[in-house]
Amino acid sequence: MAQLFNRLLLINNKGRSIMSKINKLFAIFISTLLVTFSANSVEVKFGHVGKPGSLFSASVDHFAKLANKRLGSKGKVSVFGSSQLGKDKQGMQKLKLGTVNMWLPSSVMASIHDEFGVFDMPFIIKNRSHMNKVEKQVLPGMFKNLEAKTGYKVIAVWENGFRHITNNVRAINSPGDLKGIKLRTPKSKWRVKMFQSYGANPTPMAFSEVFTALKTGTMDGQENPYAQIASAKFQEVQKYLSITGHVYTPAYVTVHKDHWNKLPADVRKILEKSAKDTQKFVYKEAASLEKSLLGVIKGAGVKVNTANKDAFIKASKGIYDQFASEVSTGGSLIKKVSSLAK
């Protein structure tokens, strides 16, 4: 009996030794697998200035979820919103340096390449159907010129939205009501020129600084789509919202060719397709937010009025003429974009 017990004990010890070796081999295999994954996996940093609850935030988050599902072990999109990686100017510079892979600029593009100022022409974009035609028939040429001049490459078009004016002085019914109002604008010289022509005192300022400027009175007002207004809580520091829809601003999913081309081809293909596929979600979300967020702004006690659109259109002829004369392709761009509204 004792011999049988010792034999069983020996077998058991040998079994444990074999299992121990198997466990060690398995651990080495997993470790090697993880190292291989780490070496081959790509982190794609996507930055933007949108606050949580904004259209920018919803758009980039949707894209990241879609892209990451498709990328699998090839890589991962990491999102940095709320200006975590800097304001638009810094973000675009980081794209050029390669410290960030993707950025979502909007109005600032007019300061990077003059042709994008066409979207600062008041009321030139009538609706999303019109914008869809412009994307297909006008933007490809603009994107080609942008890449040749700056190295920036746009891989998809999303939306910032139709812009409206808020302020603490008075309701804006016509351009004359803007006289003397200190108005924050994005860094777009054509947006500045437009509001100067209306009699306002426009000042370019980073989006992340606007709330404080409005609260302290450094600025009287600002202009943005409902999604940006509500997500940044401007309704808490503004008395009036005037529905103007004076400008429709696209958003551009942007990379820099020097660093974009260093990513594996299959990763680039997945990212570009996912960005384009996200557009349908963006337009649907934008339309939904336009309806719901106006109620949020009204609910905060902001007085809302609909401005005299015809008066603004009449007052905007000068800015169209100036764009056509100062930008070499300005006149033809205005003509092309306007013709597609019919």
Q: pLDDT, tens digit, for every residue of 180-212? A: 999 999 999 999 999 999 999 999 999 999 999
- Residue 35 belongs to some domain of the structure: no
Q: pLDDT, tens digit, for every residue of 142-177? A: 999 999 999 999 999 999 999 999 999 999 999 999
Domain coverage including residue 238: 43-167+200-339
Q: pLDDT, tens digit, for every residue of 277-290? A: 999 999 999 999 99
Contact (Cβ atoms closer than 8 angstroms) between residue 105 and residue 91 = yes
Residues in contact with 102: Cβ distance below 8 Å, sequence separation at least 6, in sequence order: 44, 45, 46, 47, 77, 95, 253, 254, 255, 271
- Residue 33 belongs to some domain of the structure: no
Q: What is the per-residue pLDDT for 12?
A: 53
Q: What is the per-residue pLDDT for 37?
A: 39
Least confident range from 1-5, 82-86, 136-140, 309-313: namely 1-5
- Residue 84 belongs to some domain of the structure: yes
- Residue 173 belongs to some domain of the structure: no
- CATH for 127: 3.40.190.170
Q: pLDDT, tens digit, for every residue of 68-79? A: 999 999 999 999
Is the pLDDT at 11 greater than 90? The verdict is no
Contact (Cβ atoms closer than 8 angstroms) between residue 64 and residue 49 = no
pTM: 0.87
- Residue 181 belongs to some domain of the structure: no
- Residue 301 belongs to some domain of the structure: yes
- The sheet that has 201-204: what strands, in order across it? 201-204, 182-185, 221-224, 164-167, 240-243, 303-306
- Residue 148 belongs to some domain of the structure: yes
- The sheet that has 248-256: what strands, in order across it? 75-80, 42-47, 102-103, 248-256, 152-162
Distance CA 23, CA 61 (A): 39
Q: pLDDT, tens digit, for every residue of 93-122? A: 999 999 999 999 999 999 999 999 999 999
Contact (Cβ atoms closer than 8 angstroms) between residue 307 and residue 242 = yes
The token duo for 194 is 């437009």
- Give Cα 261 distance to the centre of its chain: 22
The token duo for 160 is 């910032």
Contact (Cβ atoms closer than 8 angstroms) between residue 281 and residue 159 = no
Is the pLDDT at 295 greater than 80? The verdict is yes
Across the range 80-97, mean pLDDT stands at: 97
CA nearest to 309, candidates 119, 164, 169: 164
CB atoms within 10 A of CB 239: 16
Contact (Cβ atoms closer than 8 angstroms) between residue 106 and residue 251 = yes
CA nearest to 297, candidates 240, 254, 249: 240
Q: Is 133 helix (H, G, I), strand (E, B) or coil?
A: helix
Across the range 231-251, mean pLDDT stands at: 98
CA atoms within 13 A on the CB side of 190: 31
The amino acid present at 28, given as its one-letter code, is I
Is the pLDDT at 9 greater than 50? The verdict is no
The amino acid present at 189, given as its one-letter code, is K
| Number of compact structural domains in the chain | 1
- Residue 210 belongs to some domain of the structure: yes
Strand residue runs (E) in the chain:
42-47, 75-80, 102-103, 152-162, 164-167, 182-185, 201-204, 221-224, 240-243, 248-256, 303-306
Across the range 330-341, mean pLDDT stands at: 98
CA distances to 80, 86, 109, 211, 306 from 91, rounded to whole Å, are: 11, 6, 12, 20, 35
CB atoms within 10 A of CB 137: 13
